[in-house]
A and B are shown apart, each in its own frame.
Chain A
Amino acid sequence: MSEYELNLGFREGGKPLRETVNLSDGTPPPWDLDTKLAVVGKDHPRLDAIDKVTGRAAYSYDRRFPNMIFAKMLRSPYGHARVKSVNLDRAKAVPGVLFAEAYQRPVNYAGQEVAGLAATSEEVLDDALQLIEVEYEVLPCSTTVDQSLNANSPRVGRAPSNVTGPDRAAPDRVARAHADADVVIEKEYRTQVQTHSCLETHGSVSVWDGDELTVYASTQATFAFRFTMARSLRHPAAKIQVVTEHMGGGFGSKFGCDGWDVFAARAARETGRPCRYLLDRREEHMIAGNRPDSLQKCKFSVKKDGTLMGAEVESYGTSGTSARGGNARNPSVYRFRAQFANSRTVMTHAGRGRAFRAPGHPQGFFALEGMMDELAEAIGMDPLAFRMKNDGHPVRAEQYKIGAKEIGWNRRKKSGSDKGPIKRGFGMASARWGHNARPGSPGAMHGAHVRIDENGDVLVANGCQDIGTGTRTLIAALAAEELGLTPSQITVRLGFTKDPLGPPSGGSQTAPSIAPVIRRAAYKAKQDLLAAVAQRTGDDASALDLRGGKVVGGKRALTFADACRMVPGGVVDVNMSGEVADYRLPQYTNEVAGVQFAEVEVDTETGLVRVVKVVAVQDCGVVVNPLLARSQINGAVIQGVSYALYENRVLDRNTGDMLNANLLDYKIAGAMDMPEIVSIAHTVFNGKTTAGVSSLGEPPAVATPGAIANAVANAIGARIRSLPITPDKVLAALGSL
C-alpha cells in the first residue's frame, strides 16, 4: 500500500478537496493539482487524422469482400397497418436473389420491415424488392404527442394506453413553496423529434469462416454488439468477433446489434458468402433512432429578492413505438425550495427513440433555462446574476465569470434596443452531467494489453471503439505519459473484441472509464521494463523512471530503446484482463458542470435567426488532450445550434410516413450557419479514479438550445417556447402573422 495526499479541485479558485488515500501496490500515483504532467494536458493531433481525411481509415461502411452479397428489407410505407399477405415468389425468381424472408406482423411504424432479401448486387436487390407483393389493411395512425395523449387516439401496439410511466401529483411542499412566492409562472415548452443522422449509417458486414463469425459493425459498443449477436444467433460469443476500427457517428443510436445486422449474419451463414447490410439514408432517419420530442408543462415560482421557490414540471415525450425513454429530464441545477417533475412516455406510430447525446437533457434544460429567464424578467433581475444567486456548484460559479467575460455579457441590452430590423440578443444556460467513470463492474473489469518490443515499439490494445471522440489518441497520450514517450510513438489497436474488455461509448463514460485502466497497464509495463533495466545496470529499480524518451535516475544514460533491448526475451507483455483493481478515489464533485452563452441576431421583418457567437465553458475533469476536448465541445455546440434552429423530423399525419427522410429536407446546420464558437475545456482535477478524467461527450450538448432561445427572447422581446426556432415562429411571436 502507498499513501497519497490528494489535492483535488481547479486552479482558478474554489475550495480544494484535500484527503489522504491509501492505494494498493501496482496502482499508479493518482493525478491531482500538484502533479506535473508531461503529455497529458497538451494538444496532440488525432493519430488517425491523415487516415481519415485520405480515406485510408477502414469504416465498416467501406468493407468489401470477395463474393460479398447485399441485404435489404422492404419497409412499410404506413405507420399503422395489418399485413394481410406478403408474396415473395416474383422476387425470389429474380436471378441473383439468394435469400428471402417475409414478416407478416402488425405494422406500428412506417419503416417497419415486411420482408428481407439478400442478393448478389445492390441493383438486383433493389429490383427484386419492387417485386414483393404486400397487401396491407391500412389503419388510422397517431403520429404526434397531442394525438396520442387523446384517449380516443389509435393505440400503438397492444398496450392498454399510449401513455406510460408514473402519474404522480406534485407533493404539498411544492404547492406551499408556490404559495409563499411573489411570482408564479406557468408555461408550456415544446421540442421536436431530432434524428441522429449519423454520417456512417447503421449496419454491418458479416463474414463466416466455418463457425467463426467476424462482424464489421458500425457500433459504439463492440462488446454489447457481440453479446446481442450471440444471443440472437444462438451462437457462442467466443466464436464471434466484432470489429469497429473507425466509425462515423453514433450519438447514442448504436448501442448494440439490430435486426438488420442479425438478418445479414443469417443470410451470410445460409449462403456461405459475406453479407453486407448498411442502412440507406431514408432508413437511417426512420428506423435507427431519434431524440424524442417533448411537451413540458412548467410551473415555477420566485420571491422578489430572487430566491427560487417551487419548480414543477409535468412532461410528455414520444418515443415512437417504445414505451420507455421518451421523457424529458429536468434535473435542476438550481436551489429551489421544493421541486418535482413527472415525466411520461407517449407512444406514437413512429420509429423508436433511442439514447441521443445527453438523453432528455437538451429538452429539459431548454424548458428549465427558459423558465429561469422568465422568472428573472418578472422580478427585474439580470439573468446571470439570478443564476449565480441560485446555483451552489463551485465549478459553475467560476464558469459564469469566465463565460460572461468571453461573450461580453455587459453588451446585453433591454429587448428591442437596436435601431433597424435586426435585433441583437444575449442569453445563457447551464448544464450538468454525471462524472461517469466506470472502469468496469466487479464481474467484468475493463482491461488492456500493453506490449513493448525490443526495438522500442509500443502497442496498446483494448477492444472498445472510438466513437469519433478521439479515444485512440487519448489512449496513446495516457500510455505515453506513463512511459515517458510522445503519443505518436504509441500504436493503439482499438475495436477488436478479441482484445481486452472495454467500455461502451454511452453516458460519456469511455474516456473516464478507460483512462485509469490504461494508466495501470502502462504503469505495470513501465515497472517491468525498469526492473529488467535495474537487473542489468545494478540500479535500484524504484529510483528509475521514464521521462522524455530516457531512463532517468540511474547510473547510466539510457534511451527508451536502449532499455527495451535489456529485457530478457525481448518483450514486455502486460495483458491485464478481468483484474479487479483499485480505481476508486474520493471525488471533488459527482457531476460535471457547464455554462454556455449565446449571442444572436434576429431579423424581425423575416424572422430569421442567426447565431453570432457561442461561448461554451465545460468542465471535463482532467483534460487529457485539450485539442480534442475543444473539438468535442465544438461538435456539441454545432449539433445544438442545428437542433435549436433547424432540425425537425416531419411525419405525414395521415399515413405516418416520414416526409423529409434525406439530408436536404431534414435540415442540419451547415458551415454557413455556424457561429463563432469559443470552446473552453475547463480542467478540474475531479478524482473518483486515479486519472480523474471525466465525462465530456454529452454535457456540452445540454445548454446550447436554452442559451440560444434565451438570446432570441432578449433580442426580440418575445419568447418562443418551441424548438426549432424557425422564422414562422419568430414572426408569430412578434405578432406579424
Chain B
Amino acid sequence: MKGFSYYTCADLSSATRALQELKGAAVKAGGTDLMDLLKERRLEPTDVVSLHAVKQVAVKGELSALATLQDVADSAWVKENFPAVHTAAAEAATPQIRNVGTVGGNLCQHSRCVYFRNRNFDCHATGGEGCPALDENAFHRYHAIFRGTHCVSAHTSNLAPALMAVGAQAHCLHPDGERTLDIGLLYDLNPAQGKPNHLTLRPGELIRAVQLKPTPLARNSIYVEFRERQSFDFAVASVAAAVHVEGGKVRQARIVCGAVAPIPYRARAVEDAMIGKALDPAKAAAAVVADAQPLAGNQFKVVILKRLVQRALEGLKA
C-alpha cells in the first residue's frame, strides 16, 4: 500500500468540498472494495477521504448511501415494497461484508476484472491501451456478454440492477448543490481512458441517498442471481425484474441484468415489447439474450442469463 493522507469528514458537504479540493482522492465508506485496491496498489491515491464519522440522517422514503447492506436487508419496509432490493442486499457477499459494506459503496464498486485487479496488466481503464481480457487466450470466463467500446468487464453490483428495476433514484451531493438522477444514469458505458470506474459522478460528487417510491411495479419485483459458489462469490449473472400487470396485460416492465456488461444492463427494447401483452417469461428471456456477444470463454453465461430472466419473470405475479 502506498502512503496517503487521510481525511475524516464530519458531514457529507465537507466531504464533497474536500473531494473537490483534493483532486483524485479516493472515498472510503465501508472500505471493503477500496482496501483491496490500495493493498494491491491498483489504486495509489495521494489522499483518502473517509466517511466513517458522517452521521446517517434518516429520511422517509430514502436509503442513506451510508446504510449498510445489512441495514437494507433488515428493513421491513424495503422487504415489503421492494422485494428485489431486499433480496439483492440480503444475498450479497458475506455477513461480515454486509455489516460494513454500504449502499453507496456497492453502487460505486470497481470492476472485478482479473486483469484490472492485477497491477502487472494495463488497460484502457488504467491509462493504457486496449484490453487484455479480449485476447483469445485470455481468461474471460466471468467477463461481459454485452460489450462496451474499450472494456469487457462485468459490473457486479447486486444493488444497482435491483434499484433500477424498482425505479429508484440517486440523490447526488456536490459543493454546487444536489442533483437527482435515475440509478442507471450513474453509469457510463464508455468512460475516458485512465478512469478506473464506470461512474458519471463528477469530481467532488457523492451519492447522499437513494430515493425509493413504493409503486405496484416495485412491489412486484424480484432479484435472482447465479453464482458458482454459494459462500462468498460474485454473481456469474443476475437479474432484477419487475412488472405491473393489470387485467392480464403488462402495463410496465423492467428487466435489468447484472454481471453481464461493464455497467448494469437494462433490456429496454424487451421491456417495451412486453407492454400490452400477457407476461411471457420464455419469450422475454429469449429476447434479452438475442443481442448477446459472448467471448470465446463465456458462452455459458448466455445460457445462464436466459434461464435467470425466465425464472425471475416466472417468480412475479402475472
Contacts and interface: CB of A to CB of B under 8 A. Distances in A.
Interface in B116-155: 117-118, 120-121, 132, 135, 137-139, 141
B229 A737 contact: no
Contacts of A653: 137-139
Contact of A673 (B112, B117, B141, B229): B229
Given A606-B304, A654-B138, A657-B118, A127 B3 contact: yes
A646 B41 CA distance: 28
B31 to A, nearest CB: 15
Contact of B139 (A652, A672, A726, A727): A652
A123 B4 CA distance: 12
B229 A646 contact: yes
Interface string B150-192: 0000000000000000000000000000000000000000000
Contact of B300 (A127, A607, A659): A607
Contact of A659 (B139, B226, B236, B299): B139
Interface range, B side = 20 to 34
Given A654-B135, A655-B120, A659-B139, A727 B304 contact: yes
A667 B1 contact: no
A728 interface: yes
A736 B303 contact: yes
Main secondary structure of the interface of A (DSSP, over half): loop
B226 A608 contact: yes
A605 B307 contact: yes
Interface string B98-119: 0000000000000010110110
22 contacts: A123-B3, A127-B2, A130-B41, A606-B303, A607-B304, A608-B228, A646-B228, A650-B139, A652-B137, A652-B138, A653-B137, A653-B138, A657-B121, A659-B115, A659-B139, A665-B117, A667-B228, A670-B229, A673-B231, A727-B226, A727-B228, A737-B300
Contact of A672 (B137, B231, B299, B300): B231
A339 to B, nearest CB: 36
A627 interface: no
Interface in A312-369: none
Which 5 residue pairs are nearest across A and B when measured between Cβ atoms?
A: A670-B231, A728-B300, A672-B230, A77-B120, A672-B231
A731 B300 contact: yes
Interface in B261-318: 299-300, 303-304, 307-308
A612 to B, nearest CB: 13
A452 to B, nearest CB: 47
A135 B304 CA distance: 45
B6 interface: no
A509 to B, nearest CB: 33
B292 to A, nearest CB: 13
B233 interface: yes
A660 interface: yes
B35 to A, nearest CB: 13
A737 B226 CA distance: 17
Given A650-B139, A652-B138, A672-B231, A123 B120 contact: no
A359 B223 CA distance: 43
Interface of B: 1-3, 41, 112, 114-115, 117-118, 120-121, 132, 135, 137-139, 141, 226, 228-233, 236, 299-300, 303-304, 307-308
A660 B114 contact: yes
Nearest to B141: A728
Nearest to B119: A77
A673 B233 CA distance: 11
A42 B229 CA distance: 36
B81 to A, nearest CB: 28
A727 B226 CA distance: 10
Nearest to A674: B231
A543 interface: no
Nearest to A665: B114
A737 B2 contact: no
A190 to B, nearest CB: 16
Nearest to B310: A605
Interface of A: 77, 123, 126-127, 130, 605-608, 646, 650, 652-655, 657, 659-660, 664-665, 667, 669-673, 726-728, 731-732, 736-737
A77 B115 CA distance: 13
A672 B232 CA distance: 9
A657 B120 CA distance: 8
Given A127-B3, A607-B300, A655-B120, A664 B232 contact: yes
A659 B2 CA distance: 22
Nearest to A728: B300
A659 B138 CA distance: 10
Contacts of B41: 130
A183 B115 CA distance: 48
B226 A667 contact: no
A728 B141 CA distance: 10
Nearest to B229: A667
A671 B236 contact: no
Contact of A670 (B112, B141, B230): B230
A359 B166 CA distance: 53
Contacts of B121: 652, 655, 657
Contacts of A130: 2, 41
Nearest to A653: B137
Contact of A669 (B135, B229, B304): B229
A606, A650, A736: most-surrounded residue (chain B CB, <10 A): A606
B139 A671 contact: no
A665 B236 CA distance: 12
Contacts of A673: 229-231
Nearest to B301: A728
A123 B1 contact: yes
A646 B229 CA distance: 7
Contacts of B2: 127, 130
A50 B116 CA distance: 42
Given A672-B230, A731-B304, 19 more contacts: A127-B2, A127-B3, A130-B41, A605-B307, A606-B303, A606-B304, A606-B307, A606-B308, A607-B303, A608-B228, A652-B121, A657-B118, A657-B121, A665-B112, A665-B117, A667-B233, A670-B230, A727-B236, A732-B300
B229 to A, nearest CB: 5
Nearest to B120: A77
A726 B299 CA distance: 13
B228 A731 contact: no
A723 to B, nearest CB: 14
A631 B2 CA distance: 42
Contacts of B300: 607, 727-728, 731-732, 737
A677 to B, nearest CB: 16
A660 B138 CA distance: 13
Contacts of A650: 114, 139
Given A673-B230, A727-B300, A731-B300, A654 B137 contact: yes
Contacts of B304: 606-607, 727, 731
A111 to B, nearest CB: 11
Contacts of B118: 657, 659
A572 to B, nearest CB: 51
Nearest to A655: B120
B280 to A, nearest CB: 18
A737 B303 contact: yes
A659 B299 CA distance: 20
A667 B300 CA distance: 18
B3, B228, B230, B299: most-surrounded residue (chain A CB, <10 A): B228
Contacts of A657: 118, 120-121
Nearest to A75: B120
B307 A669 contact: no
A660 B230 CA distance: 18
A606 B229 CA distance: 13
A123 B232 CA distance: 29
B117, B120, B135: most-surrounded residue (chain A CB, <10 A): B120
A732 B132 CA distance: 26
B129 to A, nearest CB: 15
Contact of A671 (B226, B231, B307): B231
Contacts of B117: 665
A605 B236 CA distance: 14
